[in-house]
Amino acid sequence: MQNIIAVIWDFDKTLIDGNMQDPIFEEYHIDKAKFWQHVNALPARYSKEGVKVNADTIYLNQFIKDAQNGIFKGLNNEKLKTFGQKQKYYHGVPEIFKNLQRVVEENPKYREYNIKVEHYIVSTGMSAIIKGSAVMPYVEAIWGCDLIEGLDGEKHKIISEVGYTIDNTTKTRALFEINKGVPQHPEIDVNARMSDALRRVAFPNMIYIADGPSDVPAFSVVKKFGGSTFAIYPKGNSKAFRQVEQLREDGRIDMYAEADYREGTTAYMWLTHKVDEIAERIYKTEKESLEGAVSAAPRHLV
């Protein structure tokens, strides 16, 4: 029975106003605009040297370099986790996580078929920060970038190597891992053949939520296989509005709204309605399947 509804979230500018690294810059008194300007110039700089780098994740190398040079003194995974508590969430976060789960939890017929809502985060950001955030108690699994620690000159832990990365293209791999149930069963090889019936989360039972063009690969995969897609833009940001409107015109997303998840907002109503719509479809499908599998009891011939 494919009774799981997966709500899959981007993090930066989707759940929070800005980037998750903003509190780091604030604590260490670093000009974030200059930092990102420098990072964004790195791909072109290395290209001139004949070296290809991943534009989505090269920022990790800069963080490590700056930590090693004392700019981000003492920055390790435990320290990164504390920055998860300093995020500037959009209105209605993290409450929207529980509210979407309540759509099915408070409906007796959905409970009868054990229909559930699970939340996932797929981000090019730092896993450690997400793990320390207010949404983590509601999340089934996360995909993000992991950093390996070493020791600084004073024998204190410090970020020193890139361990695992996810970029805007490999986010699609995470979708198939959710589809096949890899978070719950790590022994499953995501590239192994698996029949649709055995996949834990059917694509039509997925809702993917993100903020813009960088998520086109993930939007496209979810849409291609029958799932739902939703984009967010900050209130009053006309540039971001035009971007998500273009995504809608191009057929990448089903709907978009201002970044406000409080009850009564467009985002709240669309997401709760979509969860209910998917749950109702699962309920009807499973009910019909069960009824079709049960034959009528034999009776005496007259």
Summarize pLDDT for 249-294 with one digit per residue, the tens: 999 999 999 999 999 999 999 999 999 999 999 999 998 888 877 6
Q: Does a structural domain hold residue 202? A: yes
Please report, rounded to a whole number, the percentage of residues in the chain having pLDDT higher than 90: 92
DSSP secondary structure letter of residue 35: H
d(CA 147, CA 162): 5
- Cα–chain-centroid distance for residue 38? 27
Q: What pLDDT does 296 receive?
A: 52
Q: What pLDDT does 85 receive?
A: 97
- Cα–chain-centroid distance for residue 167? 12
d(CA 135, CA 85): 10
At 15-53, the pLDDT tens digits run: 999 999 999 999 999 999 999 999 999 999 999 999 999
d(CA 19, CA 202): 31
- Domain enclosing residue 249, as ranges: 4-293
Q: What pLDDT does 1 receive?
A: 73
Strands 206-210 and 4-9: parallel
Q: What pLDDT does 266 receive?
A: 98
Q: What pLDDT does 213 receive?
A: 83
Which of 38-68 are b and which e, b meaning 16 or more Cβ less than 10 Å from the residue's Cβ?
ebeebeeeeeeeeeeebebbbbbebbbebbb
Cβ atoms 63, 159 nearer than 8 A = yes
Q: What pLDDT does 295 receive?
A: 55
d(CA 82, CA 70): 19
Q: What pLDDT does 299 receive?
A: 66
At 88-113, the pLDDT tens digits run: 999 999 999 999 999 999 999 999 99
- Cα–chain-centroid distance for residue 221? 14
Question: In the predicted model, what is the mean pLDDT of residues 231-257?
Answer: 97
Task: Please give the residue that has the higher pLDDT: either 155 or 138.
Answer: 138
Is residue 302 very low, low, confident or very high in pLDDT (cuts 50, 70, 90)? low
Q: What pLDDT does 180 receive?
A: 97
Q: Does a structural domain hold residue 201? A: yes
> Is residue 301's pLDDT more than 80?
no
Q: Does a structural domain hold residue 285? A: yes
Average pLDDT for the chain: 96
At 145-158, the pLDDT tens digits run: 999 999 998 899 99
Give the CATH number for residue 259: 3.40.50.1000
Q: Does a structural domain hold residue 298? A: no
- Total domain count for the chain? 1
